[in-house]
Every structure is written in structure tokens, then in C-alpha cells.
Chain A
């Protein structure tokens, strides 16, 4: 029997005026590959780039934001991000700089606090960690201890929640570097390190 399922999931990368929003160009294709590999979620074969200052960003309830440089939203970006979170979207921010005192971390957390509220630690038994694969907390990355960043293993992700759901998920773990490779290279890994991305997407679509 032919199945008729919901509209497809589009992996959207947030484009913001300040900073280097396109610092991890390989991540979308890799995550799309992972979603298609492990789930039957109908996923668009290519991602989208969505300017935060354009109201049409509200048509993409999942947004991925990354970069190394300072993050400063302009008024339109701030207004749209607030509406996005208030209406139930999930903004996943990953610090590509993975430096706890780095400019991205400082400015991004300040901007999120100013726009939608303070980030708090997400408990490691949060449903996010069991949405598809089981994790005891945020999986570590090879980049956390490579000497380029803060040399800390961040035990928690941060989040802003609305009505019990994550509206902003913030990571200092540099998943953007960890997942920034061509999907075909997965075959060289004993354990796929992008599996946590499935949890994030499944959580966004079901919670």
C-alpha cells in the first residue's frame, strides 16, 4: 500500500548578519545522510540556508546555527528568533570555536539570554538523550581535548525551554567539527559519531 506521510524535514542552517554562519558547510549533508540512514523520517535531500532576519525563517522549525566569531543579532533577527522559539521551533547552536571563554560562546550566550532567556544546564537524563539512540549525556567529541579549545569535557548541554520543551539547545562541544566530513567517510568509523544528531532531530520532530 502506498503510504502518505507528513511533510518532509528540511535541515536548515541559520544565516546571521554577524560572524561566520557558514563555517561548517559539510554538516548539513552529513546529518541528512544520517537521518536517512537510521530513520524513516521523510527528509529533504539538501539542506536550506535561512536568513534569521527574514520572516520566512519561521517556515523551518529546526535551525542549526554555528560559527567561530562573535554573534550579534540585529533587531529583525532578534525579533524573529524570539517568535521562532515562542512558537515552538528548536534552534540548535553549536560553538564551532569550543572555547568556553571564546568570543562565540560569550556573545552567543549573551545574545540568546537577551533574546529568549537564560540558558540553563540540561540534565543528562533529559528525553533528548533517549529520543532515538540511548546516551548517558551529550557524547564527547574528539575536538574537546585536542588542545585547540578550552580542553574541557563539557558534561552538559545548555538549553532554553518553553512549555517543557527545548527551544534553544546550546552546545560547547564543537559538534560542527566532529560532524563536518563527507557522509561516505562514515564507513571508516567503528561507531558513527553523528548518531546524536538523530536524537536532536527526532526530539525536535516529536517532543
Chain B
């Protein structure tokens, strides 16, 4: 007659082999307990109504080469909340798009597109094709003069869209400094480009020449940006900092960044002025004029232009506003004595500088409807979770069960072996 101990050992052995046999059986003949319904991006829209009427134990799975439309994703998410196991797999292209109204007197919209490297993206609006862009590495940008209706992009069969931004109300630009060629030609360039400009040029002690407007009031309801061309900005004290913190733009040109009152706003500290590299007979370009290098860039400062001898242009955000520091203090030489077209280039360059920091009203800055369609893959992951295989549609419980059973088998065999060893058997 068997002792209780040997009965225990026999029971452990039988249980371990039974579990092992069951596991082998289920792997050779898988269970068909939960039915899986499948659809692709082309058929999912037609299947959704029928899937809504199926029992919750039916798993729903999408095989997506491109991301389905937003409403279909939302519907699938609702089915998931209703008890269905909803999953998807595939590799839709990771794309996204944004559109921003340019702060520029001639209007315009900048469209930024992110897509896989090498993708060609076709952009169009309600009127016609806007452009097609080739994405080199991370993305591409397109400047469009006028946009009619939503902007729709397509690449590799993937469609995504963004609403047109509101137009920007162009506010005036204030130029502050001592009378000199740099200030005069900055004002000329901006006015020729269509910017409303107010200037305050110091001519003599307590004598300023005012241009374009009466009293100078630095608030974002009227002024989009301030350009300081030298240290005379010190007389405006804290008003400049308040203006920037409330969203206004500040351009610190030439030695203006040396002013104590605006140093805390600047992207970096200025070094000693570097002499121009131009020879007497050279044609003057912006890069060959002298400049004050940004020698100690703050952690949040961004380099926008670097020359071999130092950083020429840098920027940073301060509060709700933006500050750009331009080392150049002789850009007028580029306009006057540059090559053919330098006048236009000087004008466009200064307009871009100002536009990059100019205050844009809340309404224009905020996005619009259709935002959810601007990044379809991100929305798909957000609503349905990451891609996963159909076998895991049940939520991964079978994997956990298998691991538990294997552990149990090992414990049973270990207990049986330990019991035998304690009895002195091999």
C-alpha cells in the first residue's frame, strides 16, 4: 500500500503531465471561443453599423495601411467602450500638419508638414493645388499667399487636413534709437514692405524726431514689435519688459543687447563687436558686415544664424512674447552697397525678422476646427491604443494564463522531486 507521501508525489506527477498535455493540445488545436471580425481602412466604414449590432464577445480588429477617417476611429473607440475588444494593426504613415497665419502685411500662411522621410506630400485647398513638397528628413514648410477653405494634404494614400488660420491684424512696429543710417533704412525697408511703422529717433538731448504716430504707447493692442537699434532703449525702462511679457515682440539689433534694462530679456550676452570682413572693393553682403556676437547663450536661447566667428542671430521666448537678438548694426550697408537686388533682400530680411517675433492676436494664434484630422495616426493611437496583433485581441489574458500554467507545472514537479529526495530516494 502506498504511503500518503508517495500518493502526493504521484498526484503531483499526474497533475504536471496533465497540464502539460492540455497546453500542448490547446497549441495544436486553438480555442475558437472568441470570434474575431476584421476590416481594412477601406471596408471599416461599411462594417461599423454591423459591428455595432454584434455581441460584445466578438473581437473587432482593423488591418490599416492608412489611418481611417476620424469619425470611423471615434466609432471604433465607442465600440471598445461598449465592451468589444477593439484592436488594430498595420503601419499607417505618421503624418501631421499645422497652418499658421503669417504676421506680415501682405498676409500669407505657413504650412508645416511632418511625414516620413522621402515622402512627397500634395497640398491643396478648396480653390486648387497649393504645392507639393518633398520631405527630406523631419518635415517641410510651405508659404502660401492665400488659403481658401481647409488645407488638405495627401501622401501614400493618407489624407489629413487642417483648418485655415484666421488672418492676422497687422499692428505697428516701433523703431527706437539714435538718428543714424541703420534706423533710417530699417524704417524704410519695413514701410516699403507694408508695415505701419512708428519711429523715435534721438537727435539731441531731449529732442526726438518722431515719425508715424503721436504718443508712443507700448501695448499689444497697437504695437506688434519693438526694434531697438542701440542703447537709447534704456530710457523706456520696464515698459519694454512688460510689453514683451504680455506677448509683444522685441528685436535687439546691434548694441541694443548691451542695455542693462533689456539684458534679462536677451537670448544671450553680447561680446565685443567683430570688425567687418569686407575689403574696400568688395560688394557688401549682410554676412560681410561687422556684428556683435552673442557670446553667452542662455539655456532657452535658440541660434538662428551662426557665422564662423560667432553667433549672429539668436532668439528666445520670454513670457508670452519673443525676443530676437541680431548682432548686425550695419545692415544698411548691405542695402545701399550690396549687389543687385540687395535692396529687396534687405527689405524681405527685416520683414521676416519682425514677423518672427510680432505679436499675433489670440484668435489668429489659436487653432481651428478640423484639428483632429491634422495628425491622424496620433489620433488613432490616442483613441484605440497602440497597434497590436489580432491574437492578443482579448486583452492578453491567454499569455498570462500560459505563464501561470508553466509556473504551476514547474512547482508541481519541484514538489514531487523534493519529496522524493527527503525520503532518500533518487
Contact = CB atoms under 8 A, between A and B. Distances in A.
A190 interface: no
Contacts of B177: 5-6
B207 A7 contact: no
Output the residue of B254, B284, B336 with the most chain A CB within 10 A: B336
B117 interface: no
Contacts of A146: none
Interface string B317-359: 0000000000001101101110000010000000000000000
Contacts of A59: 284, 333, 336-337
B188 A163 contact: yes
B188 A88 contact: yes
Contacts of B280: 56
B184 A207 contact: yes
Contact of A1 (B199, B230, B234): B234
B185 A88 contact: yes
B178 interface: yes
A38 B254 contact: no
Given A4-B258, A61-B332, A131-B209, A205 B201 contact: yes
Contacts of B335: 87-88
Contacts of B255: 4-5
A84 B260 CA distance: 37
Contacts of A131: 209
B196 to A, nearest CB: 14
B327 to A, nearest CB: 12
Contacts of A204: 184
B192 A6 contact: no
Interface stretch (A39-47, A135-143, A148-156): A39-47
Contacts of B183: 6, 205-206
Contacts of A72: none
B74 interface: no
Nearest to B199: A206
Interface of B: 177-185, 188, 191-192, 199, 201-205, 207, 209, 211, 229-232, 234, 254-255, 258, 260, 280-281, 284, 329-330, 332-333, 335-337, 343
Main secondary structure of the interface of A (DSSP, over half): loop
Contacts of A88: 184-185, 188, 335-336, 343
Contacts of A100: none
Given A4-B254, A6-B229, A39-B204, 9 more contacts: A4-B255, A5-B231, A40-B178, A42-B180, A59-B284, A84-B336, A87-B335, A165-B188, A205-B201
Contacts of A9: 180-181
A86 interface: yes
A157 interface: no
Nearest to A164: B191
Contacts of A2: 231
Contacts of A29: none
B287 to A, nearest CB: 17
Contacts of B180: 5-7, 9, 41-42, 205
B203 A3 contact: no
A206 B337 CA distance: 19
Interface in A32-80: 38-42, 55-56, 58-59, 61
B230 A6 contact: yes
A59 to B, nearest CB: 5
B179 A206 contact: yes
A28 interface: no
A170 B309 CA distance: 44
Output the residue of A2, A6, A41, A89 with the most chain B CB within 10 A: A6
B211 to A, nearest CB: 7
A88 to B, nearest CB: 5
Contacts of B199: 206
Nearest to B205: A40
Output the residue of A3, A4, A84, A89 with the most chain B CB within 10 A: A4
Interface in A1-20: 1-7, 9
5 contacts: A4-B254, A5-B255, A6-B254, A40-B178, A132-B209
A202 B181 CA distance: 11
Contact of A202 (B179, B185, B230): B179
A43 to B, nearest CB: 10
Contact of B204 (A4, A7, A40, A89): A40
A38 B330 CA distance: 25
B372 to A, nearest CB: 47
Contacts of B201: 205-206
Given A1-B231, A55-B337, A59-B336, A86 B343 contact: yes
A8 to B, nearest CB: 8
A132 B208 CA distance: 9
Contacts of B209: 131-132, 202, 206
A206 B229 CA distance: 13
B231 A3 contact: yes
Contacts of B182: 6-7
A1 B336 contact: no
A61 B336 contact: yes
Nearest to A90: B184
Interface string A144-174: 0000000000000000000101000000000
Nearest to B200: A206
Contacts of A41: 178-180, 203
